[in-house]
Amino acid sequence: MRSSWKGAITFGLVSIPVQLFPATEEHGVSLHQVHAEDGGRIRVKRYCEKENREVPYAEIAKAYESPDGRTAVLTDADLSELPLPSKKIIDVLAFVDASEVDPLLLAKPYYLQTATPAAAKPYVLLREALAGTGRAAVTKITLRTRESLALLRVRGDLLVLQTMLWPDEVRSASGLEPQGKVEVRPQELSMATSLMDTLSEDFDLQALHDDYQHALDTLVAAKLEGVEPPSEEEAGEGAPDNVIDLMAALSASVKAAERSRTAGEPEEPEEGKPPRKSAAKQPAARKTARKQQPEAKKTASSGGRKSPEKTAGKAGGQPAEKTGEKPAKKTAAARRRASA
């Protein structure tokens, strides 16, 4: 990693030679413009409107155009003569509690490394003093010909410098807050807190990644190989733009979050309620009930008394057919039908 700035931290009569290293980097595929018909590269040329010709970069200067149309041309020599007290130093203005700094002011971060071996002791001294008091240093620094505020704070064993916006560069938020009187019930606040707790369990910020960047890399690789990109699952529907019942939405969100965390675990019965019977056993129970219905009908038709055949069989130890009772009855019935 190559340093992007060299200078010194100064506060009082103390000077600490340091160098800056960018602390972050943005991942992405560099895309450029081409002609859609043939893929030809689209170039932006530096063109002078007055002379109708392309001009080299060495002939280009910066300028400011006033509202009435006048132009003030500023050359590199003009800009180099502007007073920049913080051109090669990180000038400490004051020490403040780190919690007092609005995160909205913070911009690009840099790691600070000592530039010489002799700078190690004052570097560590400043680091320990900031860490022990919970403070950060508000400083000024000039990067790329522009002076800006910066916050000097501790991160682990390193000092970190994070550039800041000037206070007047932050826009006013007046009028953007919810209008009218809004009342939040304690139940809603409790449910929202429960949802926050559920979503925050086992959260690992380091495990997050850029799904869009991964999909873009895959798409570019497929295009370079001349193959069809893998199909992605269709995106789900967006969140509703209106919430009819806030409590119902919060409750459903909590239950959904809990289900996603306990997927695959056996469902426990609710307190005070017996466990539900499995659906597979219910048809068998109904089938058994149907089988018992004819027996019940037989009992009802006989008035609850045992049939003569069964009684005789039980008393004599033989079935009714063997005792001759049943054939006699059939013969008498036949004689009655014949006489009729």
What are the chain's domains?
A: 5-24+82-167 (2.40.290.10)
Mean pLDDT of 147-166: 95
* Helix, strand, or coil (residue 92): strand
Per-residue model confidence (pLDDT) at position 224: 87
Q: How distant, in Å, are the alpha carbons of 35, 36, 38 from that of 42?
A: 7, 10, 11
CB 5 within 8 A of CB 112: no
Name the average pLDDT for the chain: 78
Q: What is the DSSP annotation of 220-266?
A: HHHHHHTSPPPPPPPPPPPPPS--S-HHHHHHHHHHHHHHHHSTTSP
Helices (H), the chain: 76-80, 120-133, 186-200, 211-225, 246-261, 281-301, 308-316, 320-323, 325-339
List the structure tokens of 177.
């807050």
* Helix, strand, or coil (residue 335): helix
Q: Where are the beta strands (DSSP E) in 56-117?
A: 62-65, 71-74, 89-97, 106-114
Per-residue model confidence (pLDDT) at position 248: 75
Q: What is the DSSP annotation of 5-53?
A: EEEEEEETTEEEEEEEEE-----------B-TTT-PBP----EETTTTE
- Strand-pairing partners, residue 143, are 146
List the structure tokens of 216.
């873009």
- Of residues 83 and 331, more confidence is placed in 83
CB 61 within 8 A of CB 52: no
**98 CB burial (10 A radius; 0-12, 13-18, 19+):** middle
What tens digit of pLDDT does each residue of 260-315 get? 767 655 555 445 455 454 444 444 444 444 444 444 444 444 444 444 444 444 44
Angle at 238 between CA 236 and CA 244, to 5 degrees: 130
Mean pLDDT of 245-251: 70
* Helix, strand, or coil (residue 134): coil
CB 60 within 8 A of CB 104: no
CB 168 within 8 A of CB 176: no
Q: What is the DSSP annotation of 176-232?
A: -SPPS-----HHHHHHHHHHHHHHHTT--GGG---HHHHHHHHHHHHHHHTSPPPPP
Residue owning tokens 């869009």: 212
Angle at 298 between CA 294 and CA 303, to 5 degrees: 145
| Residue 234 banded pLDDT, cuts 50, 70, 90 | very low
- Kindly give, in sequence order, each residue whose CB lies less than 8 Å from that of residue 312, ignoring residues fewer than 6 positions away: 320, 323, 325
Per-residue model confidence (pLDDT) at position 297: 44
- Taking 80 as the threshold, does the pLDDT of residue 199 lie above it? yes
Identify the CA nearest to 149 among candidates 203, 98, 90: 90
Distance CA 294, CA 233 (A): 57
| Residue 87 banded pLDDT, cuts 50, 70, 90 | confident
- Taking 90 as the threshold, does the pLDDT of residue 90 lie above it? yes
